[in-house]
């Protein structure tokens, strides 16, 4: 098997908003045909990291490399559409660069949502909305798909379907996927690589290397630890309430699994 091709590399990335040091020495490699999931508590810097990957935020220091000409499809966390503004799924998807109907129909087929073409965006269920958003990201013909909490507002069966769909799209297109998720349990069966972020990369690993690490409770509590019972990683430090490291062990930024 050939080595995975990097499409994004972040080296020692720091992001500071005023005195708020949101990302600290973050290293990240994203590959084709690989699903990477970012997990971490609220305010951990997950969306900020995604925005660095997308090129929407310039790091205060560190390097970001993107494969030249890389096509990225982005599914944002929230979409605010004025309810008084009538908007069909077709019209919504035509607000991208793509105006032709054929690729729009193909994208909807790819997310099993062909039947929604003429529906109003305002009448969609949570799961349907996320499928349409995913179709919109696919219209970029992405080599990297970036999904910010793709299953939010979706019931449990819909979540399983969406994760299966994302896995299928990755296989079919061979694209890389970077997603943020809070659904620790489901995510473990849907991802190749997990990065646990709390301003810095606390740990990262392949869910195949499974174990129970009680230190994870520090970050996610008992429920999270139970959900992640299959996920192996090792903390070598503790956090204060700001997520800063309080231990004498220096953090190397390497994966620990």
Ligand X SMILES: Nc1ncnc2c1ncn2[C@@H]1O[C@H](COP(=O)(O)OP(=O)(O)OP(=O)(O)O)[C@@H](O)[C@H]1O
**Would you tell me which residues interact with ligand X (CB under 6 A)?**
17, 20, 22, 40, 42-48
Nearest to ligand X of 17, 65 (CB atom): 17
Q: How far is the CB of 62 from ligand X (least distance, A)?
A: 16
The answer to whether 245 and 251 have CB atoms below 8 angstroms apart is yes
Q: How far is the CB of 93 from ligand X (least distance, A)?
A: 26
Nearest to ligand X of 115, 223 (CB atom): 223
Query: How far is 243 from 44, CA to CA, in rounded Å?
Result: 7
Q: In what order do the strands lie in the sheet with 6-17?
A: 20-31, 6-17, 61-66
The residues, ordered by sequence, that sit 6+ positions from 79 with a Cβ below 8 Å of its Cβ are: 129, 133
Q: What is the DSSP letter of 228?
A: T
Q: How far is the CB of 204 from ligand X (least distance, A)?
A: 16
Q: Which residue blocks in the chain are alpha helix, DSSP H?
A: 46-54, 89-93, 101-110, 126-138, 156-173, 184-188, 217-227
Query: How far is 126 from 232, CA to CA, in rounded Å?
Result: 32
Q: How far is the CB of 43 from ligand X (least distance, A)?
A: 4
State the burial class of residue 178 (Cβ atoms within 10 Å of its Cβ: 0-12, 13-18, 19+). buried
Q: How far is the CB of 182 from ligand X (least distance, A)?
A: 7
Q: How many CA atoms lie within 13 A of 177 on its CB side?
A: 32
Query: How far is 107 from 20, CA to CA, in rounded Å?
Result: 40
Nearest to ligand X of 20, 112 (CB atom): 20
Nearest to ligand X of 45, 142 (CB atom): 45
Q: How far is the CB of 48 from ligand X (least distance, A)?
A: 3
């Amino acid at each position: 098997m050939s080595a995975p091709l990097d499409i994004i590399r972040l080296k020692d990335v720091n992001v500071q908003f005023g005195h708020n040091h949101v990302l600290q020495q973050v290293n990240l490699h994203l590959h084709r045909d690989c699903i990477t999931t970012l997990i971490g508590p609220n305010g951990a810097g997950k969306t900020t990291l995604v925005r660095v990957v997308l090129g929407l935020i310039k790091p205060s220091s560190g390097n970001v490399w993107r494969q030249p000409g890389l096509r990225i499809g982005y599914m944002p966390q929230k979409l605010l559409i004025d309810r008084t503004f009538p908007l069909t799924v077709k019209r919504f998807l035509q607000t991208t660069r793509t105006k032709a109907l054929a690729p729009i129909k193909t994208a909807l087929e790819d997310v099993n949502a062909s039947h929604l073409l003429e529906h109003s965006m305002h009448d969609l269920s949570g799961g349907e909305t996320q499928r349409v958003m995913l179709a919109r990201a696919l219209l970029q013909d992405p080599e990297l798909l970036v999904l910010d909490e793709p299953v939010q507002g979706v019931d449990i069966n819909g979540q399983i379907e969406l994760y299966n769909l994302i896995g299928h799209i990755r296989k079919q297109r061979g694209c890389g996927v970077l997603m943020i998720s809070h659904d620790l349990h489901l995510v473990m069966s849907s991802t190749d690589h997990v990065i646990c972020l709390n301003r810095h990369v606390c740990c990262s690993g392949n869910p195949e290397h499974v174990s129970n690490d009680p230190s994870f409770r520090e970050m996610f509590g008992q429920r999270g630890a139970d959900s992640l019972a299959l996920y192996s990683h090792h903390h070598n430090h503790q956090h204060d309430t700001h997520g800063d490291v309080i231990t004498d062990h220096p953090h190397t930024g390497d994966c620990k699994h």
